[in-house]
Structure 1
Amino acid sequence: MVLVQNTNWNNAAKALKNISTATNFQLDKILNLSDKELEKLVMPSGYYHNKAKTVRNVLGMYQTSFSELKKLDTDTLREKLLAIKGVGEETADVMLLYLFNRPVFVADNYTRKFFSKYFKQKFTYASLRKNIMKNFAFTVKDAQEFHALLDVYGKQNK
């Protein structure tokens, strides 16, 4: 979720492969890496100083608070996720949708371009999310599928 921000999937995949090779995605191994080691692993995804810190912050939250966080209502949980240093609106919503299985709308770049094209107006992340969430009666599975379809569309129609 963090590594794919502001880059293409291929670069995020390279960073994930690096992490997998070095740690086999074992949480303790990742968290025990030095800052420099983690930065080197995430480097292909760009913004590696900030992303390494954010990965560490998110995984630290996951390790210490996941059980408590998943009990929170969605709005409160979103506020908690946004309070994690390095986590913005899109990352928080992707975490809600895929990690916490909450039916939320992710207004990423592809999605905003899609809606802007068809509604002939510009949307900020917050404005599009707010407008869609008013009537968002999707299940988690439907929300995940909708997000995936919008991303596929966006990648095919750059």
Structure 2
Amino acid sequence: MYKQITIYDLLDILHDKLGEQNWWPARNAEEMLSGMILIQNTNSKSVAKSLDNLNQVTQFNVDKMLQIPELKLQELIQPSGFFKNKAIYLRSLLTAYRDKFSDWEKLPTNLLRKNLLALKGVGNETADVLLLYYFHRPTFVSDNYAMKLFTQLHSFTDHPSYMQLKKAVQKDFDFTSKQAEELHALIDEFGKLKSDFFKDYQLLLPIF
């Protein structure tokens, strides 16, 4: 018989086990946004090298970043991989940040998410990370670490899509933005441990 827990219990257990995370680690908004693009399909060590390169050249001044020639930008972010596409995505996101984010902050979350998804290189996961850490909207990021953990927690029998898991969790998701940030960060940090700590637990989710 599994020990049944809720998403709120999960946050408490992970917090007790791993402590406060205080994500997203960055010196300023421009570095944070850059990291959200560069982290796609790579690891944090590779991203750190790219971010250091960008910092040396631009000090994360958004106008300087947008003035970098395309080939030079690709060279700076090359450690993160997929650098040709990521250069395009990074320029698109930083342009929106400079020109549109102050207006977008006033939008309801569903419309804001729609606008983010319309940007080049921003899919479901990146949109939710932006909602969570830049716009401080309480939302759930059903990334690969969450999928892995919720499978270990016997939360579903059929493997859900990104949006199926997100919607199932958010049916009961009365978190502040800070709590939602911590939940995401803790799930990701736990996923890096390759632990089977939760093998005897079951997280109850609505059927999707």
% identical equivalent positions: 47
Query: Is the aligned partner of 1:149 residue 2:186?
Result: yes
1:60 to 92, 95, 111: 95
Query: Is the aligned partner of 1:111 residue 2:146?
Result: yes
Aligned residue pairs total: 158
Query: Is the aligned partner of 1:83 residue 2:110?
Result: no
Report deviation, 1:66.
Answer: 1.1
Report deviation, 1:68.
Answer: 0.5
Report deviation, 1:93.
Answer: 0.3
* Residue-by-residue CA offset, 1:31-54 (whole Å, 9 max, x unaligned): 000111111111111111111111
Report deviation, 1:22.
Answer: 1.0
The match for 1:102 is 137
AA at the equivalent of 1:56:
R
* Residue-by-residue CA offset, 1:83-106 (whole Å, 9 max, x unaligned): 001110000000000011100001
More helix by share: 1
CA distance in 1, matches of 2:126, 2:84: 17
CA contact (8 A) 1:104 1:143 kept: yes
The match for 2:163 is 126
CA distance in 1, matches of 2:194, 2:38: 22
CA contact (8 A) 1:116 1:123 kept: no
1:140 to 177, 180, 198: 177
Runs (5+) with no aligned partner, structure 1? none
CA distance in 1, matches of 2:66, 2:143: 28
CA distance in 1, matches of 2:38, 2:167: 25
CA distance in 1, matches of 2:114, 2:53: 31
Report deviation, 1:123.
Answer: 2.6
Report deviation, 1:136.
Answer: 1.0
Q: Which has the higher contact order (CA 8 A, sep 6+)?
A: 2
What RMSD, in angstroms, separates the aligned Cα atoms of the two structures? 1.1
Runs of 4+ in 1 over 6 A off after TM superposition: none
**Normalised TM-score (structure 1):** 0.97
